[in-house]
Amino acid sequence: MSYTRYALLGAVLLFTACGTKQEIVMEQPVEENQTVLPSTISPTPPEETVTHPSMKPYEINGVTYYPTVVKVGEKFQGVASWYGSDFHGKLTSSGEPFNMHDFTAAHKTLPMNTMVKVTNLKNGRSVIVRINDRGPFVKDRIIDLSYAAAKKIGIIETGTAPVELEILGFDSTINTLPKTEGAQTPKEVVLEDFAVQIGAFRKYRGAAYTKSQNSLVDGRYRAIIRKFDYKGAPIYRVWLIGFKSEQEARDFIATGRYPGAFLIRAEQ
């Protein structure tokens, strides 16, 4: 579910193939000329990809890719935003109601219930949040914090801030477990089911047309439609699925075939 405080800039896209006008929603951050810090999960190097069948390297168009692994202790930097009352009580991607007063957050790829320490790089204030949602659905944002979490690190007024994320664990009870039990929780997770968002529409017919035109891309990726809610109205996102690793998806985005495309995970 898209829980961002960004403006939805409506634009009308003419599809000559069907001779009708389709309304496409271009999701862009309100701020312009903003410096964005890189945010990515690094692919596992070759020496770390031979211990489990799901971690085998694979090749596409002569490029070797390695399954994406995220580990406890890893740190990433990017721009954080927040969401609050507009989405309070609505279902998150994890299936639980969003509570703007809980310390939770939306992330594009991290597993649900991942515990993350978020530090505002402008003032040094930190908060620990649990990932329970997908987003932000804007290309250059790394995390969407709940109102409570954003308030604790001082980004309510500014709306966004550069932050550092540190992975603390992949179990929502990690902070309450005794050390002996905590040591048995996973130290790393293999991420799969990567997708690339290629469009977002207010009207279903626009999403359906885009899906039909991208039913099979490069012989390996196919389009799906996911329905979300934005400010009380439906929004239909079109995702290409079939990417086995983050780097494969990022390389696809880098071709520029779909302007404004960005990475997401499409796991159920």
**Could you read off the pLDDT of 93-136 as tens digits, one per residue?**
888 999 999 999 999 999 999 999 999 999 999 999 999 999 99
pLDDT at residue 182 greater than cutoff 90: no
User: pTM for this structure?
Assistant: 0.71
Kindly report the CATH number assigned to the domain that includes residue 91.
2.40.40.10
Q: Is 23 a residue whose pLDDT tops 70?
A: no
> Taking phi first (over 0 means left), then psi (-120 to 50 degrees means alpha), and beta for anything else, what does residue 144 get?
beta
User: Residue 51's pLDDT band (boundaries 50, 70, 90)?
Assistant: very low
If asked whether residues 127 and 180 sit together in one domain, one would say yes
Around 159, how many Cα atoms within 13 Å sit in the side-chain half-sphere? Answer: 8
How large a percentage of the chain has pLDDT more than 90? 61
pLDDT at site 47:
36
Residue 221 pLDDT more than 90?
yes
Between 176 and 43, where is the model more confident? 176
Q: Which domain holds residue 260?
A: 8-32+192-265
Domain count, the chain: 2
Query: Distance between CA atoms of 237 and 226, rounded to whole angstroms?
Result: 5
| Residues whose CB falls within 8 Å of the CB of residue 236, separated by 6 or more in sequence, listed in order | 200, 201, 202, 203, 204, 206, 207, 225, 226, 227, 228
For the residues 258-268, what does the mean pLDDT come to? 88
- Take residue 244 and report the two structure tokens written for it: 């086995």
- Report CA 91 to chain centroid distance, whole Å: 16
| Model pLDDT, residue 237 | 96
Is the Cβ–Cβ distance between 263 and 194 less than 8 Å?
yes
For residue 92, is pLDDT > 70? yes
Kindly state whether residues 58 and 146 are assigned to the same domain: yes
**Residue 51 tokens, joined:** 């211990």
Q: pLDDT at residue 256 above 70? A: yes
Tokens of 60: 């596409």
Is pLDDT at 45 greater than 80 in this prediction? no
Is 250 within the bounds of a domain?
yes
- Assess whether pLDDT exceeds 90 at residue 173: no
Is 21 inside a domain boundary? yes
Domain boundary, last residue among 190, 221, 241? 190
In a domain, 3, yes or no: no
Give the whole-number percent of the chain exceeding pLDDT 70.
74
Residue where one domain finishes, among candidates 190, 220, 253: 190
Q: Could you report how far apart the first and last alpha carbons of the chain are, in Å?
A: 12
Distance separating alpha carbons of residues 22 and 213, to the nearest angstrom: 14
For 138-171, write each residue's pLDDT tens digit. 888 999 999 999 999 999 999 999 999 999 999 7
